[in-house]
Structure 1
Amino acid sequence: MTTTIYSSTLMILIAVAISNLLAQGFKKIAPTYINLLVGLLVGLLPITNAAILSFNNEIFMTAIIAPLLFFEGQNTRVLIVRKMRRVTLETAVSMAAALAIVVGLLVHVIGGIALPLALIITAISAPTDATALDSVTGGRQLPTRVGGVLRLEALFNDATGLIILQAGVLWYTSGHLALGKNLMAFLWSAGGGLVFGAALAFILMICRQALLRSRWNLASSQIIIYLMTPIVIYVLAEAMAMSGIIAVVSAGLVYNGEAQRSRFSDPRQFHLSVQLINFGSEILNSFVFVILGILLARIVTGYHASPATGHWFWLGLLVYGLGLVGRYIHGRAIKLTSHDAWIFSLGGVHGTVTLALALSVSVLTATDNQLVLLIETVVIILSMLVPTILLRYLLPAKKTAKLMRPKMTKMREKMVAAGMSQLAQLSLTPAVEASVTYDLRDQLRQTRLQSFLRQWRQSSWEPKTFTGDEALQERRALMRAFDAERQYLYELALTHQIASKYIYDLYSEILLAESLVLDPANQTES
């Protein structure tokens, strides 16, 4: 069978689905690691590995990383970015550049690597990954300031690494380091990407908002325009030699403000957009780490031993260790406590963008190319493994959903009982009462498969027995029950026994269920 982009995408999506399902059964392991392990398995098995095309950096950055960073930018408040702009510049630009240069010099001196190649290696390891950070914290609570700095650093430091990488590649091929030219290229890439992304996003936002307030508005068209925005902005920015990554991040920041102030203009459309963002972010995050696993497997299986076997491991250890020390020093420089500076240092996790940059360098000799890939593989693995082990001793544990599960179960049972109590006060036919009782009990998520199949058979094969009056009875009974459930949650909230977010979760479930009963646009029956 000829491998195509369709078969590759299908195989990776299957791996994503399986790994996400497995993650539900292994709650003690971060989902990211499950994605990574499944990706490794796919890459190691000849039959599945053959079904996936060779890595294409351009497609990966355009179709996966650009939308993912756009969504992350949209989930970041502009006010936070403005408040932390100085420390963000110091971390994502100054620290990243300083580390690439200083660590590159030390790798050259200690490791005996040519300076241009050492700069390429350290530039590739400059970008950090906010998504991978979530997996290594292991359900632990990051200090607020440290978490904010790490997330903003991950959003903006990709451009720094890319420009330094371009400088290293030019030095490697020509033998000359053009500092002035590279500085101007950085200013154009980062500054231009920031302005261009924000400006184009603002224009598109104005167009969509004008459309939203006109008789021409159509949710499907709006969603298509929205989903295409990061891809279009990234492609146009890259075509003008600007940072497409910074462009899509700044575009996301613009859209954050839009979402805050236009959510009630068309609630159905806004709700659909939020669900698509959440779904897209989850799938793309999983997609990224499955691909990372596949790439790591291919690098390891494609490794050819040489007289310097093992040298690459010590160089990877050196790059990661020096980076760790440098990040700690920077943490202290931005006035973090020693404890928080170590957390900041360990929080510099590397992921698929780092490996994508390594794979994008095509001018290296075969030996140097293999050396770079192996070193970056070591850096990525260490940057995920070391904090996973150490942060559990440095960070306090979160109150996880597992600890709340018994309380949530009891709260849900009492909520449904409050709704069921209303049925006795209504005059319902036996058929309506049975139907409503099943629907309410279904909220407990404890109905048996046999019971569901009985309901499915009645719905699919037996003629509908509800008269017009019975259909009205059913709707009113459900409304009455939902009202009682909401009242129970409201009274529970007043006691302050349960954190508000858990009560809000159940309350929003009831509102969504109610919309399925009342709103024709949300109903599946004709």
Structure 2
Amino acid sequence: MQTVFLVLLLVAAVVVANAVYARFNQVPVAFLQIGAGLILSLIPLYQDFELEPEIFLFVIISILMFNDGQNTNVRKLSHQFGTTLSLAVVLAIVTIFIVGILTHQLIPEFSLALALALGAIITPTDAVAVSSITTKVAIPDEVMTTLENESLFNDASGIVAFNLAIAAIVTGQFSVWHGITNFLYVFVGGIIVGLVLGYVIVAIRIMLINMRVDTPSVIVPYTLLTPFVVYFLAESLGVSGILAVVATGLIHGVQSDRLRLTTSRLQIVMSTTWSIVASILNGIVFVLLGVSLPSVIKHLQQRDTGSVAVLIGLGVLLYLVMTLVRFFWTRFDLARIRAWDTHEKTRNAFVMGLSGVHGTITLAMAFSLPLTLNGSAFPYRNDIIFVAAVVILTSLLVPTILLPLTLPKQTVKVTEEELASAKAEMVTHAIQLMQARHGNNVGTGKVIEILSGQRTLDGRPKRSELSQLFDATFDVEQQTINQMVDRDEITPQAADKYMRLASQTRLQNQQTFFKRFKLFFRFAMVKWSLTKKARARRKAFRQYHARHGQERSELMSRHREMWQQMRAIEQQPYDAVLAYLSKTITAENQQAIGIVRRAYDERHRRLSGERDLQDVQNELLIEAFQLEYNFIQNQLANKTYSAELGNQLYEQISTDQLVYLQSVNTD
């Protein structure tokens, strides 16, 4: 139970950090997550917190690598295959050896195998971390694609090299020839196993779809279990489980493109689920870094007061060395990136060097170091974790400062304000046409309510605005009732009863939450304070009516007649209110109009006893969506909207249609 509670706290810390980043995105989200972890470290439960190393590889890394694989553009990957292979395999191996030898020379206490393990840990790059720190600068598309493809496979290269180094540490033996052949077997074997398992798993999934067993409750868990199964089987065969997972992810990515239109609803659910899972797992790793740092630093200081300073210097030096190696590797075309001239080539190489950001995989491998070796504590485990943390923080800080000085600012083609304004215009246009074609009825009202949800919500309208609207609609009802009395359609007594009902509608919707709570509390107190004598009096009253059943029946009959009379009266004021709301609706007050209309629609349903006609409503909503499509086409034809704005609006309508039809099919 305690473990479950600790994990839930980690997830909560990720959610809080992401929420803060959504409002204040000047600081990379990784720093916020580390800060959340530092706060969690103050909780006694997290003192000396340790997570089993195997959990990182099996639970966290396998899922993240599978998700990266299925989101990779295979066409671009094949186009840049030579460059990707050069960066992700050759450069990764060269960097591991440079870092390992340099570390061993500077700190002889680190054996060569341990130093190579450190090199394998800090070599992999993280394209997601790059994206988080470059949201405000424009990285060239060719460079960004190269970074994404590189991070997909150099993670696997680092992990394979890491496992070989750990094996050498455990056994105390290392052969260069054996290491190379073992690396090739593990690397190539992992890819082959992943491709085979990927095709099998995809074939089963297609079979389930053809058998109409393609509900999200089946396919989503099936896909979530895939990386675990592939990783376990690959490791059982002695090949790289991570590379197998990546290869399977690539096969799933190709299959998803092929089935994107035939299973659109499932694709949306799948992509959303994987996006959330990957975001949470990425965040958990950084939160764990924040949780573990105080404990790591404490252990280092207990051993040697100078250890922390030495390891900080080592981490910064290793980052600078790796950055220079990456710069020269791309500058001298050992990994080709398309450029028009020497200046652009130098700039791309500089960006590639700075964009060697290290993140989730580096941390996960550092935490996956064994806790013990031959029955005793693993040597220098805290040192390696600390150096990895320094490298990660440095690789996040340096490009955050330098890239904006090198690259132009990111240009936003469509601002949030433009999109919100266009949505409001589109929805208002559709609502006005629907009202003109079909009038004001329950079906149209429900469609208008659904369309109003397409707008970008800027919070609930001001209470003063709602109060003014309810006052205005009450006046419309009063005028309509007076006209009905003047025409002798209803009696003054019936008009008075109806206006009391209309007054209740206005008061209920104008009262604040505290006023409603006050009325509820007063009612509860009055009910509680009834004396036994009053209860006895009510009991005697009921007994009297039980003995005089005829009188009670007449009373109930008069009550039903009154409601029938209200139903007959209510239609004209209701139509007048809807007509008034239709005339006064604008893009600015549309949300407030929607709230007022819903209040009157609910009252109308209660009085009239009408129920929503689902089929009619569906037809009206499909028509409304088509009106929105037509509106966008006209705006694009008139060049009022840009192509980018039109595409975003088209995407909004398509998604809304799919979500609505999905909810209809599941009702």
What's the TM-score, normalizing by structure 2? 0.71
The answer to whether the aligner puts 1:231 opposite 2:239 as a matched pair is: no
Alignment of 1:346-361 (within 5 A): 346-361=354-369
Q: What are the Cα deviations for residues 219-255 of structure 1, in whole angstroms up to 9, with x where unaligned?
A: 4322222221111101211222211111111111111
**How many Å apart are 1:470 and its aligned residue?**
6.1
**How many Å apart are 1:195 and its aligned residue?**
0.7
Relative distance call for 1:392 and 1:324 in structure 2 (3 A) is same
| Equivalent in the alignment of 2:454 | 443
Relative distance call for 1:241 and 1:174 in structure 2 (3 A) is closer
Relative distance call for 1:500 and 1:278 in structure 2 (3 A) is farther
The answer to whether the aligner puts 1:107 opposite 2:115 as a matched pair is: no
Letter in 1 for 2:365: L
DSSP-derived class of the 1:467 partner? coil
Relative distance call for 1:431 and 1:338 in structure 2 (3 A) is same
Q: What are the Cα deviations for residues 388-407 of structure 1, in whole angstroms up to 9, with x where unaligned?
A: 11111122222248x61221
Equivalent pairs, count: 519
DSSP-derived class of the 1:489 partner? helix
The answer to whether the aligner puts 1:373 opposite 2:385 as a matched pair is: yes
Q: Which runs of 5+ in 2 are unaligned?
A: 338-344, 464-591
**How many Å apart are 1:301 and its aligned residue?**
4.7
| Equivalent in the alignment of 2:209 | 212
Relative distance call for 1:117 and 1:395 in structure 2 (3 A) is same
Alignment of 1:19-418 (within 5 A): 19-43=17-41, 45-47=42-44, 49=46, 54-114=50-110, 115-172=112-169, 176-214=173-211, 218-305=215-302, 306-309=304-307, 310-332=309-331, 333-336=334-337, 337-362=345-370, 363=373, 368-400=380-412, 404-418=415-429
RMSD: 3.2
| Equivalent in the alignment of 2:501 | none
2-side partners of 1:524 and 1:217: how far apart?
14
Letter in 2 for 1:275: T
Asked which structure has the greater RCO (Cα within 8 Å, sep 6+), the reply is 1
DSSP-derived class of the 1:211 partner? helix
1-side partners of 2:658 and 2:167: how far apart?
59
Relative distance call for 1:396 and 1:197 in structure 2 (3 A) is same
**How many Å apart are 1:172 and its aligned residue?**
4.2
Q: Which runs of 5+ in 1 are unaligned?
A: none
Contact 2:300-2:383 at 8 Å conserved across structures: no
Relative distance call for 1:48 and 1:486 in structure 2 (3 A) is farther
Identity %: 26
Contact 1:155-1:249 at 8 Å conserved across structures: yes
Q: What are the Cα deviations for residues 435-481 of structure 1, in whole angstroms up to 9, with x where unaligned?
A: 44443333222462777988599879x85956368666644443333
Contact 1:30-1:138 at 8 Å conserved across structures: no
DSSP-derived class of the 2:91 partner? helix
With 221-230 and 25-34 compared, the bigger mean Cα shift is at 25-34
| Equivalent in the alignment of 1:420 | 431
Relative distance call for 1:466 and 1:338 in structure 2 (3 A) is farther
**How many Å apart are 1:381 and its aligned residue?**
1.0
Contact 1:101-1:119 at 8 Å conserved across structures: yes
Relative distance call for 1:178 and 1:494 in structure 2 (3 A) is farther
Relative distance call for 1:174 and 1:291 in structure 2 (3 A) is closer
Higher Cα Rg, which structure = 2
What's the TM-score, normalizing by structure 1? 0.88
2-side partners of 1:437 and 1:188: how far apart?
62
Contact 1:15-1:290 at 8 Å conserved across structures: yes
Letter in 2 for 1:74: Q
Q: What are the Cα deviations for residues 319-354 of structure 1, in whole angstroms up to 9, with x where unaligned?
A: 111111111111123245221111111111112321
Contact 2:195-2:248 at 8 Å conserved across structures: yes
2-side partners of 1:434 and 1:290: how far apart?
47
Letter in 2 for 1:334: A
2-side partners of 1:48 and 1:488: how far apart?
58
Letter in 2 for 1:17: V
Contact 2:160-2:240 at 8 Å conserved across structures: no
Q: What are the Cα deviations for residues 340-392 of structure 1, in whole angstroms up to 9, with x where unaligned?
A: 11111111111232122223333396662232222222111111111111111
Relative distance call for 1:299 and 1:426 in structure 2 (3 A) is same
Relative distance call for 1:24 and 1:159 in structure 2 (3 A) is closer
